[in-house]
């Protein structure tokens, strides 16, 4: 029996459109399933927990939505030991990208129903996160965009990405970097003028920004990317390099790797996990190895592991 969790709003309505397609396919295949349309991030966890309590054995819980929707069910799936399948229907879909899950609904359904089971790590701290816990500039962009009027206008014009572009420029003008301390596996690193500190389990977020290109979901470790001590113009020029992951060799970028990371900014900064708000306090994140099972296409396991990129590269702001 499969539980399908559908966020109709994800990807500006793509969740509902994908579900209509998937429902037809499930009926054609005479698959056994239950469908749960979730209303909000805050109630989804308990709704899924309740649905899962209805029977002892589930083959998988298949999420039709984006990274935020997946985030909302992680704790329930971890607690019940139910594998996660994904039919990507968000705007970013970085979780699906990391596991090579196709964007096309039928191919994604094939991976969910007939894929391999991959034990993957979760980031624990302020709940559970699968992609990355990001604090500082990028979390501020998300906060500014979500609170803005231009997001509503852009969404009405079907130009969601434009809202983020405006958000980046708006945040670039108003955001003030400050000192931050990052304790990774017990070792403290202090950086001046920190723009962002991202604790990553998967290589990308924000729709393919390769913030930690060397991150692997199944290596029992987390990767921290710190951007600090650069000008606004340098930060702006960093964005195209993040698309390829080549920012890791820039002198104002440091990568750390370990099993735990605590991030505290001198001034209060927002944080997001899988793109969802985690509030504004200090962050303590640890890697919980193999805490979740993800259903991935067979080809994913056969692919070469990500090359070991440089870690600990770059200049530190005086520990
Ligand atoms: N299970 C859920 N049910 C309903 N709404 C949810 C659920 N989980 C999160 N949400 C809300 O729906 C919004 C959109 O969902 P989601 O993040 O999955 O899609 P997206 O933002 O389009 O894609 P992505 O996160 O991949 O960029 C979230 O930001 C959150 O506010």
- Tell whether 20 is covered by a domain: yes
Please compute the mean of the pLDDT values over residues 8-21 and round it to a whole number: 92
- Tell whether 107 is covered by a domain: yes
Report which ligand 1 atom has the smallest distance to the Cα of 47: 1
- Tell whether 97 is covered by a domain: yes
Q: Is the CB of 245 under 6 A from ligand 1?
A: no
Tell me, rounded to whole angstroms, the distance of Cα 224 from its chain centroid: 14
Please compute the mean of the pLDDT values over residues 128-142 and round it to a whole number: 96
Q: Is the CB of 95 under 6 A from ligand 1?
A: no
CA of 67 to the centre of ligand 1 (A): 7
Whether 145 and 268 share a structural domain: yes
Instruction: Please give the radius of gyration of the chain, using alpha carbons only, rounded to the nearest integer.
Output: 19
The DSSP bridge partners found for residue 228 are: 194
Range of the domain at 165: 129-288
- Tell whether 193 is covered by a domain: yes
Q: Whose CA is nearest to atom 15 of ligand 1?
A: 10
Whether 240 and 198 share a structural domain: yes
For 137-151, write each residue's pLDDT tens digit: 999 998 998 888 887
Q: What is the pLDDT of residue 315?
A: 41
Substitution site in 12, 41, 42, 273 for ligand 1 pocket (most atoms within 8 Å of beta carbon): 41
> What span, in angstroms and rounded, lies between the C-alpha atoms of 175 and 154?
22
Q: Is the CB of 66 under 6 A from ligand 1?
A: yes
Whether 80 and 140 share a structural domain: no
Chain mean pLDDT for the chain: 92
Whether 93 and 209 share a structural domain: no
The first and second tokens of residue 284, run together, are 């303590």
Domain-terminating residue out of 114, 143, 170: 114
**Whole-Å CA distances, 138 to 124, 239, 303:** 20, 11, 30
Share of the chain above pLDDT 70, in %: 95
For residue 214, pLDDT over 90 is answered with: yes
**Cβ atoms of 118 and 293 closer than 8 Å:** yes
Q: Is the CB of 72 under 6 A from ligand 1?
A: yes
CATH number at residue 92: 3.40.50.10330
Q: What is the pLDDT of residue 148?
A: 87
Whether 138 and 248 share a structural domain: yes
Q: What is the pLDDT of residue 265?
A: 97
Whether 103 and 7 share a structural domain: yes
Q: Is the CB of 68 under 6 A from ligand 1?
A: yes
Q: Whose CA is nearest to atom 20 of ligand 1?
A: 90
Predicted-complex ipTM score = 0.96
> What span, in angstroms and rounded, lies between the C-alpha atoms of 241 and 261?
25
- Tell whether 195 is covered by a domain: yes
Whether 75 and 163 share a structural domain: no
For 50-82, write each residue's pLDDT tens digit: 999 999 999 999 999 999 999 999 999 999 999
Q: What is the pLDDT of residue 304?
A: 52
CA-wise closest residue to 296 among 121, 99, 122: 99
Count of domains for the chain: 2
- Tell whether 313 is covered by a domain: no
Q: Whose CA is nearest to atom 30 of ligand 1?
A: 41
> Sorting pLDDT into bands at 50, 70 and 90, what band is 112?
very high
The first and second tokens of residue 75, run together, are 């704790």
- Tell whether 179 is covered by a domain: yes
Helix axis angle, 149-156 to 137-146, nearest 10°: 70
Q: What is the pLDDT of residue 109?
A: 97
SS3 of 246, please? Answer: helix
Whether 150 and 254 share a structural domain: yes
- Tell whether 12 is covered by a domain: yes
CA-wise closest residue to 101 among 298, 312, 313: 298
For residue 302, pLDDT over 80 is answered with: no
Q: Whose CA is nearest to atom 7 of ligand 1?
A: 41
């Amino acid at each position: 029996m499969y539980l399908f969790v559908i966020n109709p709003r994800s990807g500006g309505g793509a969740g509902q459109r994908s579900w209509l397609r998937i429902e037809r396919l499930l009926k054609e295949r005479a698959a056994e399933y239950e469908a749960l349309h979730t209303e909000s991030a805050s109630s989804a966890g308990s709704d899924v927990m309740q649905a899962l309590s209805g029977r002892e054995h589930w083959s998988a819980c298949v999420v039709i939505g984006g990274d935020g929707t997946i985030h909302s069910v992680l704790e329930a799936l971890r607690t019940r030991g139910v594998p996660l399948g994904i039919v990507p229907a968000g705007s970013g879909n970085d979780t699906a990208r990391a596991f090579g899950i196709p964007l096309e609904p039928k191919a994604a359904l094939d991976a969910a129903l007939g894929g391999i089971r991959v034990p993957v790590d979760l980031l624990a701290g302020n709940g559970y996160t699968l992609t990355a816990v990001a604090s500082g500039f990028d979390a501020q962009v998300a906060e500014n965009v979500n609170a803005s009027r231009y997001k509503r206008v852009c969404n009405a014009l079907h130009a969601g990405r434009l809202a983020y572009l405006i958000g980046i420029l708006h945040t670039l003008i108003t955001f003030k970097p400050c000192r931050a301390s990052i304790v990774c596996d017990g070792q403290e690193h202090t950086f001046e003028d920190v723009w962002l500190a991202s604790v990553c389990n998967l290589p990308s977020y924000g729709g393919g920004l390769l913030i930690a290109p060397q991150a692997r979901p199944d290596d029992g470790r987390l990767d921290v990317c710190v951007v600090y001590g650069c000008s606004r113009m340098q930060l702006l020029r960093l964005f195209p390099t993040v698309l390829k992951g080549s920012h890791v060799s820039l002198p104002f970028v440091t990568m750390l790797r370990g099993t735990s990371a605590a991030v505290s900014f001198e001034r209060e900064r927002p944080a997001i996990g899988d793109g969802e708000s985690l509030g504004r306090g200090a962050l303590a994140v640890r890697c919980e190895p193999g805490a979740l099972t993800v259903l991935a296409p067979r080809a994913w396991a056969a692919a070469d592991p990500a090359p070991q990129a440089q870690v600990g590269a770059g200049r530190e702001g005086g520990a």
